[in-house]
A and B are shown apart, each in its own frame.
Chain A
């Protein structure tokens, strides 16, 4: 139905096409998207790098995710872009079932979705729960446990990739890395509408990578995805927390 055959090296993605056309009416929307993500990244970094002198306070993974999302929504609201750009935060059950933390839609006339970006946030191990669904097991409600049981056979990463590939080529999966082992204060992003192909092609390697991911050797995942998915268009820091310029860097466009 909505599923599209994933062929790396095939036709260019819809998202790239949009981004490449400066005169396209969506160019402004994409700029807005970029600005909002950077604003949110910058804001989140303030908390990501926060260190309590008494080592009592530390924002949880869920809190960081909410700060990012609230900052992003707030910025979009200020620019009154809700008509073309919508953000839907998923329920706790949906996060578990689909592996999606929230969804951005670029909407055209008659509320038809033109491009969709499904987002999953990944954290450094000290912030991430055992089950990689971001919530400590003790706060799981009954329905969250049912959702967990329903999706137990797939990793959270695999769930969002399946979601994206099932919806179709217009749906992109964006992994936001809140920190990296050798750069814990930065936020990174990797996006594609073709992660599914990478996983289908190199299942054996993916198993290996998944193991690595559990150990949170982040850069290996990114490197793998760079090589395996040619639609990949961004593996750059979304913000910079260090030294001279604190202004977030621009997402690299193809």
Chain B
């Protein structure tokens, strides 16, 4: 039974967040996603590229935790993504792990020009297992793939590690906008697939949710008709 999956599936039509922006009130599902990984691998840049389509090379270390909201569409359903950007520094670890609870998806990021960040992937994976729920979906991301000349982690190494950990894998560049949107889209797809499996196992998880399932007509992956 996967009742936990429904906890984060908010079917909100009641203006929970006030009246000012009516578009904010209406969504069919809300997914909480986290971006984790060592300091300076590019987590914040990755989020800014996706949410604001912006990039700055200046490095500003994230204080504790921050987040952005973005709405995507999938099969005529509005999915609100609450994307939490965590600080990579060890000193903030207690704060950041407190936000793992209830997350439906993780982007576990390393820097392809930083061996240490790749070596830490296993530890981050353990953190997910420790502080999150079993069904949280994870995508391993090797960021900064625009810096090919400084690469120290072969793409194949990332792929193999992802396979060992049971994660999907992308190499990305927030700077050159490579695979950023695709990573989030894929994570949403995986979460939707898992939700669909849960619903088939126990339709009761939609209690209070008047919406049809996201994957009534499951499209093949990668999804050609995704409205994102």
A residues near B (Cβ < 8 Å) are 1-3, 88, 90-91, 93-94, 97-98, 100, 103, 113, 116, 138, 140, 142-143, 145-147, 149, 163, 166-168, 170-171
- CA gap between A77 and B68 in the complex, in Å: 30
Query: Do B20 and A138 touch (CB < 8 A)?
Result: yes
CB-CB under 8 A from B97, the residues of chain A are 1
Query: Do B93 and A1 touch (CB < 8 A)?
Result: yes
Interface residues on chain B, size class? 20 to 34
Residue B165, interface by CB 8 Å: no
- Nearest-neighbour CB distance to chain A for B26, whole angstroms, equals 12
- CA gap between A149 and B92 in the complex, in Å: 22
B residues near A (Cβ < 8 Å) are 17-18, 20-21, 24, 60-61, 63-69, 82, 89-95, 97
Query: A94-B66, A146-B17 in contact; A88/B94 too (CB < 8 A)?
Result: no
List the 10 shortest-distance A-B pairs measured between CB atoms, nearest first.
Answer: A142-B24, A1-B94, A145-B17, A1-B93, A166-B94, A143-B69, A2-B94, A103-B63, A98-B64, A94-B66
CB-CB under 8 A from A93, the residues of chain B are 66-67
- CA gap between A3 and B97 in the complex, in Å: 13
- Nearest-neighbour CB distance to chain B for A85, whole angstroms, equals 14
- Nearest-neighbour CB distance to chain A for B134, whole angstroms, equals 22
Query: Do A94 and B82 touch (CB < 8 A)?
Result: no
Instruction: List 7 A–B pairs whose Cβ atoms lie within 8 Å, in order of A's numbering.
Output: A2-B90, A2-B92, A88-B60, A98-B63, A143-B69, A145-B17, A171-B91
- CA gap between A171 and B21 in the complex, in Å: 38
Query: Do A94 and B24 touch (CB < 8 A)?
Result: no
- CA gap between A116 and B69 in the complex, in Å: 29
Q: Which of B64, B69, B94 is close to A142, meaning CB atoms less than 8 Å apart?
A: B69
Query: Do B64 and A100 touch (CB < 8 A)?
Result: yes
Query: A3-B94, A163-B95, A167-B91 in contact; A145/B18 too (CB < 8 A)?
Result: yes
Residue of B20, B63, B65 with highest tally of chain A CB at under 10 A: B63
Closest to A142 in B: B24
Query: Do A91 and B66 touch (CB < 8 A)?
Result: yes
Query: Do A143 and B90 touch (CB < 8 A)?
Result: no
Closest to A97 in B: B65
CB-CB under 8 A from B69, the residues of chain A are 142-143, 146
Q: Which of B61, B82, B93, B94 is close to A146, meaning CB atoms less than 8 Å apart?
A: B82
Query: A142-B21, A146-B17 in contact; A166/B60 too (CB < 8 A)?
Result: no
CB-CB under 8 A from A1, the residues of chain B are 90, 93-94, 97
Query: Do B63 and A90 touch (CB < 8 A)?
Result: yes
Closest to A139 in B: B20
CB-CB under 8 A from B64, the residues of chain A are 94, 97-98, 100, 163
- CA gap between A167 and B92 in the complex, in Å: 6
Closest to A118 in B: B63
- Nearest-neighbour CB distance to chain A for B9, whole angstroms, equals 16
Q: Which of A2, A90, A94, A116 is close to B93, meaning CB atoms less than 8 Å apart?
A: A2
Closest to B92 in A: A167
Query: A94-B63, A94-B65, A147-B67 in contact; A2/B21 too (CB < 8 A)?
Result: no
Closest to B99 in A: A150
Query: A2-B93, A166-B95 in contact; A142/B17 too (CB < 8 A)?
Result: yes
